[in-house]
Structure 1
Amino acid sequence: MNSDIEKVLYSQDQLNQRMDEMATELNQKYQGQEPIVVPVLNGAMIFASDMIKRLTFNLTIDPIKASSYAGAHSTGQVKIVQDLKSDVKNRPVIFMEDIIDTGRTLKALTEEMKLRGAKSVEVVAMLDKPAIRVVDFHADYYGFQVPDAFLVGYGLDYNGLYRNLPYIGVLKHEIYA
């Protein structure tokens, strides 16, 4: 598995340090509130789990599963595969996402939560890849801005593989070409 990686972009230590910084900001902002934290499955489960452990305010966790990818490419269509069980009306919603690339998925999900009456909607992403953005969307908090490369590890996958790598790396081109 490690031999399929061209280079490591962010080590576990670098990821931890950046999550500590983001958690400090979130803890200040949401103290005294009870947001619904929404991990976007499957990719964000590792990041969201590690972030949630750093949060010191009351919260509800309610994952959502949305899909817009087939293999290595975005289909351009966002589909909610598993919806929330919580009523978001008058509650702050915090999406936790592994990576924002085209922006379609998170834009669609944030618009949906606003339609459902969420008090506010914010996005916390481990990675932001603006080079391939196709819609006007920006995370409220993000760990690192990354180049246009095929990234895996720490929840990011290629056909379901590599999510369990403890770092974020660039997948060798010949693996997904």
Structure 2
Amino acid sequence: MKGSVPFLASLIKKLEVDFAIDFMTLSSYAGKSANTGNLKVIMDLDTDIKNRDVLIVEDIIDSGVTLAKVEKMLKERNPKSLSIVTLMDKPHNREVNLKVDYACFLVENYFLVGFGLDYKEKLRNLPYIGIMDEKFIDLNE
């Protein structure tokens, strides 16, 4: 959720339909920088999405494993429609079949920070998106 806030804030300024915003907080990283494949719902939606048009807003989609699980979970709640929009998509890293309806940017396999994307909960506040230098990334923490 945290990473998508800047993108969501920019996106809603362009929407010309009535909408409600709700949040889910999920974790698949267990404190590490790599996806574990395990999904934990930390905070669920407050809104009943049955028969509603739902747009999942993501900051970045990498393997797609977590998002595919979220999509399945939300489809079980019978929304009228369910679409996915992301600021950045890494389709070359996809490990599951996932239809991304809208992607602003297709990106290569870099560790990106800024505009909501973090490294150890830092650098989210950068007003741009940058590539994190590999020499500063510790994946063994």
Bin the TM-score by the shorter chain: over 0.9
The normalised TM-score by structure 2 is 0.93
Letter of the structure 1 residue corresponding to residue 91 of structure 2:
P
Q: Which residue in the other structure is 1:58 paired with?
A: 18
Q: Distance between the aligned counterparts of 1:86 and 1:56, measured in 2? A: 21
The alignment yields a C-alpha RMSD, in angstroms, of 1.0
- The alignment covers a number of residue pairs equal to 137
CA contact (8 A) 1:123 1:141 kept: yes
Unaligned runs of 5+ in 1: 1-40
Q: Is the 8 A contact 1:71 1:158 kept in 2?
A: no
Q: Where do 4+ consecutive residues of structure 1 move more than 4 Å? A: none
2:27 is aligned with 1:67: yes
Letter of the 1:65 counterpart: T
CA distance in 2, matches of 1:123, 1:91: 14
Higher relative contact order (CA 8 A, sep 6+): 1
Of 100, 103, 118, the residue aligned with 1:142 is 103
Cα drift, residue 133 of structure 1: 1.3
Q: CA deviation at 1:126?
A: 0.2
Give 1:43's aligned residue.
3
User: Do structure 1's residue 89 and structure 2's residue 50 form an aligned pair?
Assistant: yes
Shift of 1:74: 0.6
Give the structure with the larger helix fraction: 1
Could you tell me how far 1:71 is from its partner in structure 2?
2.6
Cα deviation, residue 138, structure 1: 2.8
Task: Give 5+ residue unaligned stretches, structure 2.
Answer: none
Tell me what 1:175 maps to.
Answer: 136
C-alpha displacement of 1:132: 1.7
Q: Aligned equivalents of 2:66 and 2:12: distance in 1?
A: 21
Classify the secondary structure of the residue corresponding to 1:96: strand
SS in 2 for 1:48: helix
